[in-house]
Amino acid sequence: MLRHLPPLLALLAAALLPALGASPYVLGIGITACIFTVGAASLNLIYGYAGLLSFAHLAFWGIGGYCTALGAVSLGIGFWGGLALAGLLNAALAVLVGIPALRLNRHSFVIVTLSFSLLTALVARDWVAVTGGPLGIPGLPAPELFGLSLRSPPRFYWLALAFAALSLALLRAVTTSRIGRTLKALRQNEPLAQAQGIAPTPYKLLAFAISAALCGMAGGMQVFYMQVVDPLILDFYYFQTFLVMMIVGGAGHFWAVVIAGIVMTVLPELLRATAELRMVIYGALLLFAMVAMPGGVAGALESWRDARRRATAERPDPVTAAAS
C-alpha cells in the first residue's frame, strides 16, 4: 500500500490546484499535461515495454478525436459514449493493423504503421461528408456529468485529471502484471521467451490494442478541450511530442515517462517558448538523448547508480575471481 502513496499524494495536490486559485491559463497547461502524459505513456507501453516503434499512434490519436466528436455530434451518444467508442474502435483497428504488420519484420512495421497514419490524415481531409473536410467539426458541445456542464476550466481540468489518473492506473496495472513482464521478456530475448512456451504475437497485439485505445481516448479529450476537431489533429507535432517525452524520460520506465510528460509540458510554458522554438528544443533533446543516453534520463540514472554500486562493492566477484 505504501508504494501507492507518492502518486496518490501527487494526484491529491494536483486536484487541489483549482481550489488554490490557479488561473485558467495555469489550468490549461494542466489539462494539456494530463492529456499529453497519457499519450506519451501509451506510446511507452508499445515501445518501452513491447519494443515496437509504432507510428500508428498518430492515427489512433486522430481517430479517437474524430470518433469522440462524431459520437457527441452525429451519433447522439454524447461525449461519454463517443469516448468509449473511440477506445473500442481504436483497439479493434490496432488488432486489424497489427495482425499484418506484426507478420513483417521491424523495419516494415515502422513503415506500415507510418503509412496508416498518413492514410488516416488523407481520409480526415478528403472524406468531407463525415469529417467535415479541412474545416473539421467546430463547436463541440461541453461534456456533461449528471447534467453538469464540464466546460469551465476548473471542471474540465478535473475531468482531464481523472482521465489521466484512470488511464495511468490501467497502464501501470498492465505493465506490472504478468503481461508487462512477458512483454519485457519478449523485448529482451524473443527466442528465449518463445522457448519458454510464450507466443509473442497475442501479447504484442494486446499491448498494441490497449495502447491504441488509451491514445485514442486522449485524442478525444484533446478535441473536446479545443472544442473543434479538424485535420490538424493528425499533425505530426502531436506524435513527435509524445515520442520526445517518452524517449527523454526513459522508454520502459513508467514513472520517468509520466514525469517527463508533465515537466516537458510545463517547462516550455515557463520559458515562454514559441511553438517552433519548442520543437527545435524537442528535436535537439531527442538527438542528444539518442547520442548520449539512449535510455533517457531514467536509463542514465540507472546506469550511473549501477556504476557507483560496482565501484563501492570492492569485494571481487567470485565468478571472475575463479576465472582469473
Partner 1 sequence: MTQERAIDPVYAAQLTLNGLLLGLLYALIVSGLALLFGVLGIINFAHGEFLMAGAYLMAFALPVLGLAYLPSLLLAMLGVALLGCLAHALFLRRLREDEFERSILMTTGLSILLLNAVQYALTATPLLVDTQFGFDGIDLGGINITWTRIAAAAAAILALLLLWLCLTRTQLGRAMRAIAQNREAAMMVGIRPEAVARNAVILATALCGLAGAALAPIQLVQPSMGQFLIFKAFALVIIGGLGSIPGAAIAAVLLGLLESWIGGFFDAVWQEVVVFVAMMLVLLLRPDGLFGAPRMRAG
- Smaller CB separation from partner 1, 117 or 167: 117
Regarding 107 and contact with partner 1 (CB under 8 A), the answer is: yes
Stretch of 28-36, 106-114, 155-163, 208-216 contacting partner 1, by CB under 8 A: 106-114
End-to-end, the C-alpha distance of the chain in Å comes to 46
Stretch of 61-69, 200-208, 217-225, 271-279 contacting partner 1, by CB under 8 A: 271-279
Distance CA 5, CA 109 (A): 39
Regarding 310 and contact with partner 1 (CB under 8 A), the answer is: no
Regarding 243 and contact with partner 1 (CB under 8 A), the answer is: yes
For partner 1, which residue of 16, 75, 96, 119 counts as binding (CB under 8 A)? 119
Smallest distance, partner 1 to C-beta of residue 278, A: 8
Residue 243: which of 271, 266, 277, 215 has the closest Cα? Answer: 215
Regarding 38 and contact with partner 1 (CB under 8 A), the answer is: no
Smallest distance, partner 1 to C-beta of residue 11, A: 31
Smallest distance, partner 1 to C-beta of residue 51, A: 8
> Which residues within the stretch 56-85 sit at the binding site for partner 1 (CB under 8 A)?
none
C-alpha cell at 283: 528535436
Q: How many residues bind partner 1 (CB under 8 A)?
A: 39
Q: Residues 156, 31: contact at Cβ < 8 Å? A: yes
Burial profile 106-133: b = 16 or more Cβ within 10 angstroms, e = fewer = eeebbebbbebbeebbebbbeeeeebbe
Stretch of 2-10, 167-175, 216-224, 276-284 contacting partner 1, by CB under 8 A: 276-284
C-alpha cell at 291: 547520442
Distance CA 287, CA 294 (A): 10
Regarding 254 and contact with partner 1 (CB under 8 A), the answer is: no
Asked whether the CA dihedral 83, 218, 30, 236 is positive or negative, the reply is: negative
Distance CA 212, CA 196 (A): 28
Regarding 112 and contact with partner 1 (CB under 8 A), the answer is: yes
Regarding 115 and contact with partner 1 (CB under 8 A), the answer is: yes
Distance CA 178, CA 238 (A): 31
> Which residues within the stretch 122-161 sit at the binding site for partner 1 (CB under 8 A)?
122, 126
Distance CA 34, CA 156 (A): 11
C-alpha cell at 73: 455530434
Count how many residues are written for the chain: 324
- Smaller CB separation from partner 1, 138 or 283: 283
Smallest distance, partner 1 to C-beta of residue 280, A: 5
- Smaller CB separation from partner 1, 235 or 317: 235
The DSSP string of 168-213 is: HHHHHHHHHSHHHHHHHHHHH-HHHHHHTT--HHHHHHHHHHHHHH
Distance CA 48, CA 77 (A): 35
For partner 1, which residue of 88, 114, 150, 226 counts as binding (CB under 8 A)? 114
For partner 1, which residue of 12, 272, 276, 311 counts as binding (CB under 8 A)? 276
Backbone angles phi, psi at 230, to 5 degrees: -145, 175
Q: Which amino acid is at 14?
A: A
For partner 1, which residue of 22, 88, 95, 118 counts as binding (CB under 8 A)? 118
- Smaller CB separation from partner 1, 16 or 99: 99
Regarding 282 and contact with partner 1 (CB under 8 A), the answer is: yes
Regarding 280 and contact with partner 1 (CB under 8 A), the answer is: yes
Residue 216: which of 64, 44, 55 has the closest Cα? Answer: 64
Binding residues (CB under 8 A) for partner 1: these are 47, 51, 53, 100, 103-108, 110-112, 114-115, 118-119, 122, 126, 236, 240, 243-244, 247, 274, 276-277, 279-280, 282-287, 289-291, 294
